Amino acid sequence: MGLSWTKHILSFPAKAIGFQHLLRLSGKKLVLPFYHAVSDNPLSHITPLYTHKSSAEFENDIDFLLKYFTPIGIEQVLAITKDEIKPEKPCFHLTFDDGLREVHSIIMPILKKKGVPATVFVNPSFVGNKALFFRYKAALLIQELMNSRIDELPDFPFDEKVKTMLDWKKWILSVKHHQNHQLDEFAVLLGVDFQAFLEKEKPYLDLPELKELSLNGMTVGSHSLNHPEYRLIPIEEQIRQTTESMAWVKENLQPKIAAFSFPFTDFGVGNRFFEKLKSNPNCPDLFFGTAGLNEEKMPNHLQRIPMEVWKKSAENVLQTNFFTHFLKKGIGKDLLRRKD
């Protein structure tokens, strides 16, 4: 049974217990929800991958969070990790990955109205729509396949066993960062123009928009240079992706806090990575993963809660995460252990 289905099943007893009671039982004083984009229209580079929230759904999420938590900025998050402040009430800090343009056009006005600070994590290779994340390329190819007839498909170039449209979709969605060139070859076969998409749709924030965000209560952090999956790249490349992206953010945005969120997840990142980074001038002050409410041994390495789950509300997502955390804590599985 997959993790998503497990959490779906656990959502029922979580709902029965109720969020307020679960929050009190947890003793948690800081939660870190994260999103990618918010839009009232389908986004062709995202829809085949996951379900994003509409503006109304996102605003409802924020209202729910404000009912139970105090919003805080990234400076306060760092202070909490250093034990410089101990919040009396539970707090939350909102983050957004991938640096998508909806953060400026839709999300910022909502957060500004609600008085909620946040952090957006960007990939310098994509800022200003210079290039496209390989998973977004895959999504555009899937969209094109959905508009095609099976008899229109050319011969599959990389695996003779791949015949049907379903086979194509599965293979394209399985592509990793190092196979990016194969997605470019698929695009030629299917007549998809990634550069035209970038120029027309402008899915990413540009530098002036990032500077405006930083003036309106939003910190800018780094998310690696071009979004590889860290567990699949050598440690030297992990460090280069981290330090060079962090250097770009510092040079162009001058954030008070150097914050970094791992692309995809931090699964497979070992202790040696953090040890090697310590003496680097571009070592982040804060690291963010995506493992929900799990704890880390390093106080400045924090885990966040994915909120784009099956169109579920913030109440449902958080109830399930708090109930899952309660179960894990009961058997001593709430602390993440990393290999050397």
DSSP 37-83: -B-SS--TTTTTT-PPBPHHHHHHHHHHHHHH-EE--HHHHHHHHTT
Band of residue 7 on the pLDDT scale cut at 50, 70, 90: low
- Taking the C-alpha atoms of residue 197 and residue 144, their distance in angstroms, rounded to an integer, is 13
State residue 326's pLDDT score: 81
**Cα 242 to Cα 258: distance, rounded to the nearest angstrom:** 11
d(CA 17, CA 15): 5
Residues facing 260 on adjacent strands: 222, 287
CA distance 130 to 207: 12
> Could you read off the pLDDT of 67-123 as tens digits, one per residue?
999 999 999 999 999 999 999 999 999 999 999 999 999 999 999 999 999 999 999
Question: In this predicted model, which residue has the larger pLDDT, 248 or 310?
Answer: 248
Q: Band the pLDDT of 156: cuts 50, 70, 90.
A: confident
Give the 3-state secondary structure of residue 252: helix
Q: Where are the domains of the chain?
A: 3-129+202-330, 134-199
242-300 confidence digits (pLDDT tens): 999 999 999 999 999 999 999 999 999 999 999 999 999 999 999 999 999 999 999 99
Mean pLDDT of 300-320: 93
Fold of 3-129+202-330: TIM Barrel (3.20.20)
* Sequence-ordered list of residues with C-beta below 8 angstroms from that of 264, at least 6 positions apart, any chain: 227, 229, 230, 290
Q: In angstroms, rounded to a whole number, what is the distance separating the alpha carbons of residues 108 and 18?
A: 30
Return d(Cα 81, Cα 72) in angstroms, integer: 13
Task: Dump the DSSP string for 244-278.
Answer: HHHHHHHHHH--SS-EEE-SS--TT--HHHHHHHT
Instruction: Count CA atoms within 13 Å of residue 271 on its CB side.
Output: 8
Question: How many CB atoms within 10 Å of residue 80?
Answer: 20
Cβ distance 227 to 123 under 8 Å? Answer: yes
Q: Is the pLDDT of residue 126 over 90?
A: yes
Q: Residue 1's pLDDT band (boundaries 50, 70, 90)?
A: very low
Residue 320, pLDDT above cutoff 70: yes
CB 283 within 8 A of CB 58: no
Is the pLDDT confidence value at 323 over 50? yes
Using CA atoms, how far apart are residues 195 and 339, in angstroms rounded to an integer? Answer: 40
pLDDT, averaged across the chain = 92
**pLDDT value of residue 149:** 62
